[in-house]
Structure 1
């Protein structure tokens, strides 16, 4: 049951409980509990229920049919574990390539207003700024700039970053489990510094990716700006018709 005195917000607890309910009791396209049923079963307000259901819909566990109610989606079964789906290392291994990540730099900086907003902190707080070059079979594939809030990852060092993949470091060393990540991407061309790192002429086609990764507590644990070479990197997305 939900713990109302717990520091974890009620709707976050409810999301986890409902995910377990879906996985263990319901089939794809089966009707989900109504808002009223959830309110009564878990003794929570309608506002809390709606917040939880909205998040479940965004995560691919449920979908709504106008005038008919809420149903279980099969999309979540198609999703890989986040540590795999968002892992360059695992993605390259699946393609039969040998991945390598090189940490080019790590800085401890003060966040300006724009960066603070993107990392979910206050202006003037500290973040780690990391630059990495991701390669496969010795070929540079992606140049990344990652911002990590310092308050969640104290004493972060290059040696720690090089000791294991980043999405293993988060939970294993800092107890920060990934819940989900939002991404935006668009076609572009390489700037001078980027072309130098990727070994391509300036102006070459590239894919720009902006990712915001969230913890189980819905805190931003990473904000990454990536540039992937357009002649080698393929970005696959599956859209599911509801």
Structure 2
């Protein structure tokens, strides 16, 4: 992969977004217009012929670590967080299918009435048939975040990159919303992210991406057309790679 994305053709990517991205200006839950806006961003890339997987966090509904901090048993709290990701995945599926995009929600926890179980070969086949696959319920195990789940699924699906949609346009040396002198990195290595504790993804996810040579592209999901623009080699972003 070159230092920029301008000459890179992507055939299959994974989009990772937080649950908080779906709540808009609300402090909790789902904001349907925001869900629909993100679905249109996905559609713009889908229309380019790119195969798309998604992993959505659950922090807009329930966050396992916070539940654990409040005295709840950690494993129980994490399972509740996984169920929250399923709710978000179903909301995104509904929004995408309203746009005419065939979508499958694939859950790491078996719940046949609402989602398919995760079977790798079946998921790959869905992608080959140009269906968007939304992987829900994390890895199916407590103590693992949706960042780690995203890196795991991207590796299993043989994606060429993870696109991490955030509220800022890349990775900074400090919080740009609090520091005017924050510096944005155009590119940075996995080891630098870990050593500087930059919080792009959790350490397990970064280590897994490094071990599988899987680039992470961090960009602003709030920028209209940003996802499609980056695949065309435009826009502002940070590449995390070896």
TM-score (norm: length of structure 1): 0.22
Structure 1 or 2, whichever has the larger Rg, is 1
TM-score (norm: length of structure 2): 0.22
Query: Normalized per residue, which structure has more strand?
Result: 1
Higher RCO (CA < 8 A, seq sep 6+): 2
